[in-house]
Structure formats: structure tokens, C-alpha cells
A and B are shown apart, each in its own frame.
Chain A
């Protein structure tokens, strides 16, 4: 029970702090679930994040697996509700009030001010995943070539993600230069 309560407040906190989306809250999520509470190891956190990339829908559904690892199906349910419900309610309320602030100059102030903060947080989220996954030549090559490819033209990200995974599995067998 204490475990479920802990999961609930941690993921509710993360939900409220997720300004700028799921990526923005990744460093804090890693800090809380790995370093502070030891619910998952660093490698497990990376694996679970990657599973979220492979599944359809919002990538952040991966939080369910942290809950499941801790407390089975009940844990997944609790984490799912804690992580998604608060923001849904907040959005519902904001959607109904938003029109009231239509003319307010403060609405634009919040939007303009928070935009760069959200970008900074996304950078931090990207950096957090990079620290978990970029540690040899192959991973640098995968991340770098996907970055370059996407700047060059739009390719379905799902294909690129799968290609990245397969490259990491197969390249060491093809080229024996990289110790695996």
C-alpha cells in the first residue's frame, strides 16, 4: 500500500511538472525513479523508455511499465491514473476558461515566456536519454545519422527508431571493429 501511495504522488508530481510535454520531465523522472527510489536501474529505465518508443500512441505510456514492475497490474493502473489524469482535468478546466483570457496580455506573456523554458527542458530530456544510450561509436553514428536524415527530409520516425535498434544489433556482427 505504501508502495502504491509512493508511486501515486511521484507520478502526480511529474504530471504537474510536465510543462513542455513528456520529454521535458524525463530528467526528473529518471532522478526520482532511478536515483532516489531505486524502482528501476538506469539500464531498465533506458529499456523501458525504448519500449515506449516502439509502441504506438504517446511514448510516455512507458510509465505504466515502471508501475507494473513495482506493483503488478495495480501498479500500472495507479501510475497511469496518477500520470495522466491530473493533466487531463487541468486541460479540461483550461479549455473552458481559455476564452475568458482571450484579450488578456498576460496570456501571451505566459505563452511567450514558457516557450523557451519548454525548449530548454526538452533539451535536458534529450541529454538525459543521450547519457543513458550514447557511449560508443555505433550509438553516436545512429543518433547522428538520424538527426542528419531528419533535417534533410521527413521520414517516418517509427522506421528510423526500428532501424536504429536493428543497426545496434547487427552492425557489430557485420563490422568487427567495434567491440560490443
Chain B
């Protein structure tokens, strides 16, 4: 809670009214089309209102990513809670979701009425295909550090194969691979040193290749 009051002080210098929190998250929720809600939240809560600084925002994102649930919703809970406690968290989440809830329900009604319209079906198939392109990029960007680390890449592959190919229930995957991964990263684990050595070897290998290519 300390960084919360600190953030509030560096910002407005007074308690942020609940109505303002609601309105701010409502705006973020209404204009964040096509995902990327977290980026909009950063713009509204860090850049525009200065409710929190980048450091506090990253702290909140760190918690959100570690916990289950959607990042944007978890972020709203944390920012709202830090500003005004539980009522703040409630109005933040309500504001974030309300526009989407109204629009998705409207779209759903339209979709049910048009369920036999081949144009609508084709449009939605195209949207899903587009989402595949989008999700691939997001996954690659989020995981750019993990994809190049042998240990992480192994965990990624094991998770993907268990879920998509072996069709193991998700709770088992999280239980087994999740705890194995945390144990591999347990405090004082030796692998960091091993990875460093592996990186060294790789660099030396590259270096050697580079030299052999030059000569």
C-alpha cells in the first residue's frame, strides 16, 4: 500500500474520486479494440493522469502476469486497489468491462440472427485467421527472452506438446510442468551458471565460425 499512497501523492496530491477512476477505465475499455488493453491502461494511468509511475506500473504488471486471469483485468484490480482500496478496484474493473460487455452482447444477438448468413460466417473465419497472425506475434514478442534460452525453450516445448499434442488436462500440465519449472529456478539453483557457461560456449563457437568463414 505504500507505493499506492506515494503514487497518489506524486499524482494529484489528493484521493482520486471513484467516479474519475470509473470514467478513466471506462474510456480505456471502450477504445481498446483488438486487444492490447494493457497498453491503453498505461497511457491512461501513467501518461495522462500520473496516478502511478512506470516503475509502479511494471510492478503491477509483474503481479498480473504471475497470477491467473487476464492481464488487463488484474491490472485494473491492482491500480484501483492502490488508488482507493476495494471500492477503487471494483469501479476500475466495472469501467474496463462495461463497454465490451454491452458490445459483445449486441454482437452476439446480431450473430444469432445471422447464423445462416454465409458472408458473416466468412467474415468471422477471416477474423479468426487474422487473430492467429496476431497471437503468433504477441507470443513471440512476449517470449523473445525465453525462446533463446535452452532451458526456457525446453519448458515451452514441453508445455505446448503436453497441451496441444498429448492433450493432457491443463491442471495436470500446470501441476507437473509448472512446479518442475519453478523448482528448476529455485533459489540457489545451479543452472544459471550452467546457462552462462553454455552461452559462453555458444559465443566461442560463433566466434570460431566467424573466423573460419573469414579465412
Residues of A within 8 A of B (CB): 13, 15-23, 25, 27-28, 31, 43, 46-62, 64-65, 68-69, 76, 80, 84, 86-88, 90-92, 94-96, 98-99, 105-106, 108-130, 132-134, 138-140, 142-147, 149-151, 156-169, 172, 180
Contact = CB atoms under 8 A, between A and B. Distances in A.
A28 B29 CA distance: 26
Given A57-B30, A113-B184, 12 more contacts: A18-B68, A23-B139, A65-B111, A91-B74, A95-B78, A110-B182, A127-B164, A139-B126, A150-B134, A157-B33, A157-B35, A166-B123
Given A123-B160, A124-B164, A165-B130, A21 B34 contact: no
B205 interface: no
B146 interface: yes
Interface of A, secondary structure class, is helix
18 contacts: A53-B34, A60-B70, A64-B101, A91-B69, A91-B77, A92-B86, A95-B81, A99-B1, A99-B2, A113-B184, A114-B66, A114-B181, A119-B152, A122-B143, A138-B129, A146-B134, A160-B134, A161-B34
Given A53-B35, A118-B65, A126 B124 contact: no
A136 B143 CA distance: 28
A86 B89 CA distance: 14
